[in-house]
Amino acid sequence: MNLNEYKDIYVFCEVKDGKVHDASLELLGEAARLVNGRPQLEYKVVGVLIGNHSDDVAAHVGWYGADKVVFLRNENIKHYSTEIFTSLFTEMIESDKPDIVLIPATVMGRDLAPRIAARCDTGLTADATKLELNPEDADSSLLYVTRPAFGGNLFGTIINETKRPQMTTIRPGVMEMLHKDEHRSLEIDKREVSIDHINDPVRILEVMHKDHMAVDITKADIIVSGGRGIGDNFHVLQECADMMGAVVGASRGAVDKGYIAKDHQVGQTGKTVKPKVYIACGISGAVQHLAGMEKSDYIIAINKDPEAAIFGVANIGLVGDALEILPLLTQEIKRYRERPY
């Protein structure tokens, strides 16, 4: 394998409901940052689109940092398929020879990326939280990928010196999206591709919306989050959250115990959140939880244990019982709302 033949950074653009997923836009921004930081490589940021999308979607990719879009288009690709996407992406890798391939660590990305990496027999690093080009050699395109392991207790920096492309999935919500710029120049490389040679025996029979779909904790300004200590009392958090226009989050412990649905989980194996205010109630502060919320603008921690690790990341810590304090807070807000004007 001649590693020097490989160049550019390719970003898989996941499309959902006719829109490029934020997680992919974040990767375009990160790829642009890497490329601009090392202009001597003369690398491009290339977005990869697969499906029967309109040209508007391709243009959108350019606004957020791509220099070029490779658009693998076929009218009959109406939704994601592991086998079709793996085959088309792998064929594109063989012809285009990208040096670096970034894929968002969404459910789709985590289904697709390992398949592609195994088919190309290259290395794949999962769920990265930081990317950097070899800091010891300014002419190198060797990607240093940092990711948490052991539930966020340890971080590792991973490299792939022998195989290309260098592939990694990146956690949604970690990288910064560029500001939208509709005047960036963009080359669109549209390829009408055949899928006649690809057989995907997996069929989607039905799509069901989750009942609690309205809850997207990653977009909330305020999160009231509970740990195992809250027990069956998550309704207390919900009532308080409703008063403030907040959403309810939870630690892994609370989710594992079945007190609240997995969609609410914040942390290493849950979601990464950056709200304006994060109120941690009865959360001890395991490293894997902190990994998902430490970037919040302002953290309020309520815990009975003055030694709880959560106080280490909090802006303000209140030693006490969240189940006593929260109903009082709910009442306080209610009283305020009902005050005579």
Partner 1 sequence: MNILVLLKQVPDTTEMKIDKETGTLIRAGVPTITNPDDLAGLEAALRLKDSMGAKVTCITMGPPQAKNMMRELYAMGADEAIVLSDMKFSGADTWATSNTLAALIRTLEFDLIIAGRQAIDGDTAQVGPQTAEKLGLPQITYVDDIIAVKEGKIIVKKALESTYEIVEAPLPCVITTLSTLASPRYMHVKGISHAFERDIKIMTFDDIQIDQSIIGLKGSPTKVKKTFTKEVHKNSDILHLDGKAAARKVFDIMVDFKFIGK
Choose between 102 and 314: whose C-beta lies nearer to partner 1.
Answer: 314
Note whether 130 binds partner 1 by CB under 8 A. Answer: no
The CB density around residue 111, as the number of other CB atoms within 10 Å, is 13
307-326 binders of partner 1 (CB under 8 A): 311-321, 324-326
Cα-to-chain-centroid distance, residue 11: 14
Give the one residue of 46, 51, 127, 282 binding partner 1; rule: CB under 8 A.
127
Among 105, 21, 7, 17, smallest CA distance to 61 is for: 21
**Residue 183 Cβ vs partner 1, minimum distance, rounded to whole Å:** 32
Tell me if 5 sits within 8 A of 106, measured CB to CB: no
Interacting residues with partner 1 between 15 and 54 (CB under 8 A): none
Three-state secondary-structure class, residue 164: coil
Nearer to partner 1, 181 or 221 (CB): 221
* Stretch 252-291 residues interacting with partner 1 (CB under 8 A): 252-253, 256, 262, 268-269, 276-277, 279, 286-288, 290
Binding test (CB under 8 A) with partner 1, winner from 159, 190, 304, 305 = 159
Site track 72-111 with partner 1 (rule: CB under 8 A), x = hit: ----------xx--x-------------------xxx-xx
Contacts of 24 (CB under 8 A, 6+ apart): 11, 12, 13, 14, 47, 104
Q: Which stretch binds partner 1 (CB under 8 A): 60-68, 93-101, 231-239, 300-308?
A: 300-308
By beta-carbon proximity to partner 1, the closer residue of 53 and 147 is 147
Q: Which of 36, 149, 187, 191 binds partner 1 (CB under 8 A)?
A: 149
Of residues 296, 239, 293, 295, the one with CA closest to residue 265? 293
String marking each residue 231-250 x if it binds partner 1 according to CB under 8 A: -------------xx-----
**Segment lying near partner 1 (by CB under 8 A), choices 34-42, 59-67, 173-181, 301-309:** 301-309
Query: What is the spatial distance between Cα 27 and Cα 105, in angstroms, rounded to a whole number?
Result: 11
Closest approach of partner 1 to the CB of residue 258, in Å:
9
In the complex, the smallest distance separating the C-beta of residue 158 from partner 1, rounded to whole angstroms, is 5
> Three-class SS of residue 221?
coil
How many residues contact partner 1, by CB under 8 A?
94
Q: Which amino acid is at 136?
A: E
User: SS3 of 128, please?
Assistant: strand
Q: What is the spatial distance between Cα 292 and Cα 266, in angstroms, rounded to a whole number? A: 6
Contacts with 27 (C-beta within 8 Å, 6 or more apart), sequence order? 11, 12, 102, 103, 104, 170, 175
